[in-house]
Structure 1
Amino acid sequence: MTAVAEAPATVAKLGFGARFTAHMVLSRWSQGSGWTPSELVEHRALELSPAAMALHYGQAIFEGLKAYPRPGGAPALFRPGVNAERLNRSAARLAMPELPVELFTEACERLVRADAAEVPTGPGQSLYLRPFMIAVEPSLGVRPASEYLFAVIASPVDYFFADGYQAIDVWCPPDQIRAAPGGTGAAKCAGNYAASLSAKAQALANGCHEVLWLDAQEHRWVEELGAMNFFAVTRDGAGAPLLVTPELSGTILAGNTRGSLIELAASLGIRTVQRRVELAELTAPDGPFEEAFACGTAASVVPIGAVTAAGGRQVIGDGLPGSVTTRLRDELAAIQYGHGPDRFGWMHSV
C-alpha cells in the first residue's frame, strides 16, 4: 500500500523519503515514436518485465529537486531547468534518450500542483521530487534499450539528517573509491549509489555520518562527500573568507546547490577558488582550513566537524558549524522558502 503523507499540521516527523504523495507523473519513450505526453496517475507499483533491461544492465538515472512552501502563495521549485539539463547529460553518458527540458519541468509542475496540499510547512520541511528514467524494454541483449520510462514521484521530507543542522563526522575509506576517470562519476546514475553503500556502512560502523571520497588514482585528493559536493573555508591574503571546492571533472557530479552557492557567495563578497584539495591539507592540525561543509539538494548545507582517515580523527576548526557555512545556508534557505528576495530568479512558481 502507498504511504501517503498526512496533513502537515498533524505530522511531527516526516523523515526523509519514507512516505509519498498521492500521485506520480509518467511518460514513455520508444524508438521511432519518441516521448508520450506526461500522464498524472495514482502513486502505485510499476509493472515491469523481469527482463526489463534496467534490472540487468543498469540503465537507470535520476534527479532530486525540491518544492518549497512559500509565505502566502503557491509552492515553488528550485531551479528545475538545471536538473533537467543534468538529467540529459546523465542520459547521454548511459546511452539513453534525451528528455525535453519542457517535459521535465511540466511533469514536476503537474505533480506539485496535484499534491500541493501535501507540501509540508514545518521548519526545514519541503516536498522532495525524484524524477527518474529507466530502461523497460524486455531483452537480455547487451545494448542500449529501445523503450524507456520517465517518472516523477514526490516525498514530503524533513532535514536529511535526523538531528537537523549540526556538524557531522566523515570517514575516508582506505580501500574504496566513488568514481574513476572515464567512468560515470559525472552522471547521476543508480549504479554510482549502489557502489557507495558498503563504504557508508563502514562510516557508520566507525562512528561517522558520511563518506569523504578521494580520487581513484592517488587516493589523495578530496572529491565528494557522500552524494554531495565538498567545500572548505580558508582566508585569502587580505584575511577575507575564501571558499575552496574541487574543480569539476569527469569524476565529480555538477551539483545544482554547488553552483548556486558559488554564485550566492560571490554576491556576498566571498570569492570561490576551484582547485584540488589534498586530504593532508584538510586534516593537518595547522592546516589552512577553518571550516568545511558539504552541499546537495537533499541536505542543503551540512557542516563537517571532523574527518577520520588513516591517521586518525581530525577536528575541522572548532568542530562546530562555522560562520561562513551558516551564513551561506541561511541565505540560500531565505531564497528557497521566500523569506528573502529571489535576486537570482531561481525560484519557479507552480
Structure 2
Amino acid sequence: MSTTLINTIEIIKAGTTKINDVDFDNLHFGEVFTDHLFECDFKNGEWQKPIIKPYAPFLLDPSAKVFHYGQAIFEGMKAYKDDNNDIWLFRPDENYLRFNNSAIRMAMPEVPEDVFMEGLNQLLKLDSEWIKKGKGNSMYIRPFMIATGAGVIANPSEEYKFMIILSPAKSYYSGEVKVLIAEHFSRAANGGIGAAKAAGNYAAQFYPTTLANKAGFQQIIWTDDATHTKLEEAGTMNVFFRINDTLYTAPTSERILDGITRKSLIDMAKRENIEVEVRPVLVSELVEAAKNGNLKEIFGAGTAAVVNPIIGFSYKEEYFELPKIENSIASQLKEKLTNIQHKLAEDTFGWTVKV
C-alpha cells in the first residue's frame, strides 16, 4: 500500500462519546474501550483503503476461517501521556516486527508498516482524551488480525481483517502470585507456534491454568515439552529468576516469545551493573537454590504488568516460599522502566517514540 493512500485514512467520527460514563479511577484491565477503532481489510491479494470508525461489533460469515482453523494473531503495547499532553509509544517498532513475524508463521499477509504505524498514530490522536496523565495511567493498544475468508476447506484464508482497538488502563496488579511448575502440560513445542502471538497459544493455556487455580496457584511456570526440565515462561509472561545477585532468564526460541519488556529489562539491568545470564534454567537449579537460600526473587515480565513478582512456587507437591526483600531488583527495574515510559526519566536507550 502506498504512503499516499494511508495518509488519506477515511475517518468517521462517533456521534457521541462514552468517555463520560467511564470511572477512570476504577478500571478493570481490558474491559473498557475507546470511541473508535482502526480497520483495514486484505482482499484480492492486496490491502484495501483503511478506515477509522466508531467502535462497534461487526458481522462475519459463520464459515470464516478464523472460527475453524484459528488464523488469528495479536500484539500488546501501550501509549502514555506526559505532563505536556504529548503522547508516547514504547518501542513500537519491536511490536510491528513481531506482529509480522507472527503473521508469517501463521501464513497470513504482512501488514505494511505505514498502515500499522500511521493507523495507530491517527487512532491515538482521535481518542487522545482517553489517555490520562500520571504515573500508572496508560492506554493499552491491541492490534490484531483475523482470517475472514469464507469456507471450511483446510487451507489459509484469502481474506483478512487487521484492526486496532484501544483500552485505557491503570497500573496492573494481580495480588500475590504463587506458581505451579509444569510437570506434564506444555505451552509450546519445537517446530510449533510458541514464538508467535497466536490466539491459539493462549487458548491452550486456559485448561492447565484452571487446574492450577483450583489447586491454589495463580499461574504456571511452563517447562520445555521434551523433558520438562527447563523453565520457560510464567503464565503469559517471560520470567526471570534471581539466584544470589544474578538474574537468569531463558533464551528466546521457537517455544518462547521474544518479549519486548523482557529485552528492555535485560538491557536496563546491564546498565545498572546487575549481572544477567540468558541461558536455559533448569528446574533442578531452582529447587536447589530455593532449598539452600540462594533463590531471592522470581518475577514475570510483560506489557500489562511490566513486572509481576512471584512469592512462591510448587514442584512435585513441595512448596517453596521466597524471602520478602526490601528494594528488590524486580521493584527497582520496574520503577526505572516505567519512569522512562512515562517520560519521568531520561530515555538513554531511545525507546520512546512521540505520536
Name the TM-score, length of structure 2 as normaliser. Answer: 0.90
Partner of 1:63: 75
Cα displacement string for residues 252-287 of structure 1 (whole angstroms, at most 9, x for unaligned residues): 000010111111112112232111111222233116
Letter in 2 for 1:264: M
Letter in 1 for 2:248: V
Partner of 1:312: 318
Partner of 2:84: 72
- 2:95 is aligned, of 83, 91, 102, to 83
Distance (Å, rounded) in 2 between the aligned partners of 1:223 and 1:214:
5
Find out whether 1:220 has 2:229 as its counterpart: yes
**Alpha carbons 1:7, 1:118 under 8 Å: kept:** no
- 2:337 is aligned, of 327, 332, 341, to 332
What secondary structure, in the 3-state scheme, does the structure 2 residue paired with 1:222 have? Answer: strand
**Alpha-carbon RMSD:** 1.9
Find out whether 1:301 has 2:313 as its counterpart: no
Distance (Å, rounded) in 2 between the aligned partners of 1:4 and 1:277:
47
CA apart distance, 1:203: 2.3
Superposed, which structure 2 residues align to 1:137-156 within 5 Å?
Answer: 137-156=149-168
Distance 1:86 1:294, change over 3 A: same
Q: Which runs of 5+ in 1 are unaligned?
A: 236-240
Distance (Å, rounded) in 1 between the aligned partners of 2:140 and 2:19:
12
Partner of 1:233: 242
Partner of 1:200: 209
Distance 1:335 1:289, change over 3 A: same
CA apart distance, 1:321: 7.0
Distance (Å, rounded) in 1 between the aligned partners of 2:335 and 2:325:
16
Find out whether 1:128 has 2:140 as its counterpart: yes
Identity level (%): 37
Report the count of equivalent residues. 338
CA apart distance, 1:209: 1.8
Distance 1:272 1:102, change over 3 A: farther
Distance 1:56 1:71, change over 3 A: same
Distance (Å, rounded) in 1 between the aligned partners of 2:154 and 2:354:
42
CA apart distance, 1:5: 4.6
- 1:276 is aligned, of 273, 276, 280, to 280
**Alpha carbons 1:281, 1:287 under 8 Å: kept:** no
CA apart distance, 1:160: 3.0
Partner of 2:9: none
Distance 1:82 1:297, change over 3 A: same
Cα displacement string for residues 65-115 of structure 1 (whole angstroms, at most 9, x for unaligned residues): 001121223221111110010011111111001112232111221111111
Distance (Å, rounded) in 1 between the aligned partners of 2:319 and 2:329:
23
Distance (Å, rounded) in 2 between the aligned partners of 1:38 and 1:312:
54
**Alpha carbons 2:239, 2:299 under 8 Å: kept:** yes
Letter in 2 for 1:329: K
CA apart distance, 1:60: 0.2
Distance 1:321 1:192, change over 3 A: farther
